[in-house]
Amino acid sequence: MHTLTIVLLVLQLLSCAVLTAMILLQSGKEDGLSALTGSSDTFMGRNKAATLDAKLANLTKWVAAAFVLLTFFVSMLCTKYI
């Protein structure tokens, strides 16, 4: 295999493991029916962007995007060898 393909596969495996861990670390959305009321005037509602869960969710989106792009590039490189 080409060296670039091996490097991208290793990065893809690392991003997969990190993405799985980040998803498992996030807290569940246990609001239930209380989320329907739209009570965003609470203390946690105003500072929702500054919480650790919000930062973790934002970072999860970036890692997921990196995983998808790595998967796309690896599949493009591996089709040459088939």
What's residue 64's pLDDT?
A: 95
Contacts of 5 (CB under 8 A, 6+ apart): 74, 77, 78, 81
Would you say residue 37 has pLDDT above 80?
Answer: no
Would you say residue 11 has pLDDT above 80?
Answer: yes
What's residue 81's pLDDT?
A: 66
* CA–CA dist 64, 72 (Å, integer): 12
Would you say residue 71 has pLDDT above 80?
Answer: yes
